[in-house]
Amino acid sequence: MDWESAKVYGYMIEPDIQVNINQSRIINIKLLANEKGTSAIKLRKTMMRLFIYLLENADSKVIGNEEILTNVWDKYGLSSSSQRLWQVMHCLRNKLSTLGIAEDFITRTEEDHVRGFCINKERVTPIYYFDTKNL
């Protein structure tokens, strides 16, 4: 198989959380059998785009607020603002916590006068698939 034809299907966060990009769903596999608590959530488009952008750039460096606003809002013809970023990020963190993802998974930080967010890449593993048309 040619890795150049591989596409990202989703992500695993630590051992139990699966992010399904196409369905905009995040699932705690460990909680699926447990009827108590939330085992899956579905995110709205912009919130999912924000989360995927952070995961794609999870290399332990700061992803600046302006970079996020441009790539998550502006490129899609949406109105961006720092307040909107804060609001969506706050809701995203709350939703992730219902699945058992630690509050410090997405950290707010500043580096070299750039304010933004950071995800530790050690906690994220991409899941790939191969497009059978290209095999």
Reading phi first (left if > 0) and then psi (alpha if -120 to 50, else beta), residue 91 is in: alpha
Hey, what are 109's tokens?
A: 């930080």
Cβ(16)–Cβ(135) below 8 Å: no
Q: What residues pair up with 130 in beta bridges, in sequence order?
A: 6
DSSP H or E segment with residue 98: helix 82-98
User: Which among 57, 27, 23, 53 has a CA at the least distance from the CA of 40?
Assistant: 27
Rounded average pLDDT over 45-60: 92
- In terms of phi and psi (left: phi > 0; alpha: psi -120 to 50; beta: otherwise), the region of 66 is alpha
Query: pLDDT-based confidence at 120, cuts 50/70/90?
Result: confident
Tokens 């603002």 sit on residue: 81
Can you give the pTM of this predicted structure?
Answer: 0.88
In this structure, what token pair is assigned to residue 118? 């950071």
Cross-strand partners of 6 = 130
118: pLDDT strictly greater than 70: yes
Q: Identify the pLDDT of residue 6.
A: 80
